[in-house]
Amino acid sequence: MAIKRRKPNRKQVGFATRAMRHSSMLMTIAGTALVIALVVTTARWLGDTDNFPITKVNVEGGFQHVSPEDVRAAVMPFIGSGFFQLNVDSIKQTLGEMPWVDAVVVRKVWPDTVYVHIKEQRVLARWGENGLLNRNGESFFPELNTIDDSLSLLVGPKGSEKQVADQYKTSAALLRDIDVKLVSLDYTARGSWQLEFEGGQVVMLGRENIGQRMQRLAGLYRELEKSQSESNIVTVDMRYDTGIAVQWQHQPGAECEKSNVCQQALVAKNNGELIF
């Protein structure tokens, strides 16, 4: 005799399925809540300055105008935030605002250290009344008592720093070859260049063909050096297409008769100028 199996009650099956789904959902919610709680707790723990305090500030670099003590003093207001909360960018910005700082590197070193490397400005010359130019042609303005007055003085309109710095480098290098020191370079708003040498001589270069005129100036000084007459110069005007005008303190004497340049100067003795 065959045994008849009872068919499952559809209502019971549906209830069990819904119960399992509900239980699974509760477990998912509970698991998610646990993960969130762990993340929040961990974040609070890591953010607690008492757990990961900054205890060391290591400062490196070549120091002449900026001291390690000054750097540490600038960093100190930031280290109370703890290792993970420390804002490296803010420290870098603050140190970069120090006039003598050219570049700065700041990084955190686990577990309690801030490392700072300072690169000081490399000075090229003075800029105007109270500034300096670095070798990149960038101006900066430190305290006046830190400016070396023996540096060459460069002057120019705002925004011309790079152009003036480049011209100074080129001119100073050329003049060194003829043993002449450039102490002042003036670039006017009209685009005209004027030089002054250590002996007080003034050279007017004008606005055009500056490189060519500098070469002609060097040639003039090489010729005058033969008779030791270059120290007798007051001004040199290079603003001629094919010549140079020289004004003397007094007319060269017989000691320079063998020099073609000096002979031409003697011809111009009535007005103290030489044009050739």
Same domain? For 141 and 67 the reply is no
**What is the structure's pLDDT at 87?**
95
Segment 97-104 mean pLDDT: 97
The whole-model pTM stands at: 0.74
Separation of alpha carbons 194 and 93, rounded Å: 38
With respect to residue 140, please indicate whether it lies within any of the assigned structural domains: yes
Instruction: Please give the tally of structural domains in the chain.
Output: 2
Identify the pLDDT of residue 206: 97
For residues 117-145, average pLDDT = 98
Q: pLDDT tens digits, residue range 209-262?
A: 999 999 999 999 998 887 777 778 999 999 988 788 999 887 655 445 545 444
* CATH of residue 72: 3.10.20.310
Those residues with Cβ within 8 angstroms of residue 5's Cβ, 6 or more apart along the chain or in another chain: none
Q: Which amino acid is at 255?
A: E
Q: Confidence class of residue 14 from pLDDT cuts 50, 70 and 90? A: low
- Do 196 and 110 sit in the same domain of this protein? no
Instruction: Evaluate if residue 179 carries a pLDDT over 70.
Output: yes
- Which residue would you say has higher pLDDT here, 154 or 15? 154
Residue 93: inside a domain: yes
- For 208, 210, 231, 235, 243, the CA distances from 193, given in Å and listed in that order, are 9, 8, 21, 14, 17
Q: Check residue 100 and give its pLDDT.
A: 98
197-216 residue pLDDT tens: 999 999 999 999 999 999 99
Q: Looking at residues 89-110, what average pLDDT do you find?
A: 97
Q: What percent of the chain shows pLDDT beyond 70?
A: 74
Give domain status of residue 149, yes or no.
Answer: yes
Looking at every residue in the chain, the average pLDDT score rounds to 83
> Do both 145 and 233 map to the same domain?
yes
According to DSSP, the β-strands at 233-237 and 202-206 are parallel
Using the 3D structure, point to which of 120, 146, 172 is the last residue of a domain.
120
Same domain, 149 and 66: no
Start-to-end CA span in the chain (Å): 141
269 lies in the same domain as 170: yes
- Of 81, 105, 120, the one marking the end of a domain is 120
Host domain of residue 79:
56-120
* Residue whose entry in the numeric block shows the structure tokens 């100190």: 76
Do 116 and 128 share a structural domain?
Answer: no
Other CB atoms within 10 A of residue 53 CB: 14
- Does residue 176 sit in the same domain as residue 220? yes
Task: Determine, yes or no, domain membership for 26.
Answer: no
Examine the domain organization and report whether 227 and 93 are in the same domain. no
